[in-house]
Structure 1
């Protein structure tokens, strides 16, 4: 599966928001330490890289969501500080055949426009509920983006 799947997937959830932090700070928050994700993304209970640093393309991550859903991911694109893409390699969520997620960070004045895309293909038992919950997932992602922005801002003040 290539990154073109982000545009062609049968199910796409896209959340966009303008944040006050710069792309460099946001990219660091997204990529430096996966274990921090639960502090800003409410649906995530635990996350970690599966191997030693340095992290980049090919790095693995293990993620556990609310409700016991688990993912093993691999990083496909690491274009600092603009683009972070990972593929779900394994999950205990039945019905998913292909799953890709992208964080796109674009400078916007003194801040950053952030677009998160979730692209999924699978059985109707995963596609239909995802379509139905699209607005909830988008809202959850936008809330997470603002918490990520706050973390990046606090970290910048300490530096």
Structure 2
């Protein structure tokens, strides 16, 4: 993957950072497909992410599936380490290197559970440590991040429905 801006190494955090980060933004959606199918799309079908998450232009596995390289539209990128891969339950990764300014540490945590209406309840949490300016931008951008998440979940649900 081409790198448009120089990469910076982030602080290596562990799984508990998803619950203890200085800034946590969480979004939830219910999908009319099983947690098994949602998990497969998140963890196993990386090449399909750009089809349903419009900010993403490419995702590919690294380190035998223990890592990911993610390229965003506009030139952003993440080099990631998978921290948790529990089928039908949780898929969590840490950002190790990025060209995104202001980040010090970041984890994205996808939790899956059966939805009361049937299907899957998906909770996506962005756990972040960064500069004050970055935290302000993320807080102000929370409605847009939520809209992006909801749009991605609608597209994912359409893609996964038989």
Of the candidates 37, 44, 55, which is equivalent to residue 32 of structure 1?
A: 44
Runs of 4+ in 1 over 3 A off after TM superposition: none
TM-score between both structures, scaled by the size of structure 2: 0.87
In 1, Cα distance between the equivalents of 2:14 and 2:78? 19
In structure 2, which of residues 8, 18, 21 is the aligned counterpart of residue 9 of structure 1?
21
Contact 1:15 1:116 in 2 (8 A): yes
Map of 2:91 onto structure 1: 84
Show CA shifts across 1:87-142 (max 9, x none). 00000012211100011110124211110000100112321111110110011011
Answer yes or no: is 1:64 the counterpart of 2:71: yes
Q: Any stretches of 5+ residues in structure 2 without a counterpart?
A: 1-12
For the residues of structure 1 that align with 2:137 and 2:73, how far apart are their CA atoms? 16
Answer yes or no: is 1:143 the counterpart of 2:143: no
TM-superposition CA deviations, 1:31-83 (whole Å, max 9, x none): 1121110000011111111244xx3xxx1111111221110011000001110
Q: Which residue of structure 2 aligns with residue 125 of structure 1? A: 133
Superposition RMSD on alpha carbons, in Å?
1.2
Q: How many residue pairs align between the two structures?
A: 149
If the length of structure 1 is used for normalisation, what is the TM-score?
A: 0.88
Checking the alignment, whether the CA contact within 8 Å between 1:9 and 1:119 is kept in structure 2 is yes
Report deviation, 1:3: 2.1
C-alpha contact 1:15 1:139 (8 A) present in aligned 2: no
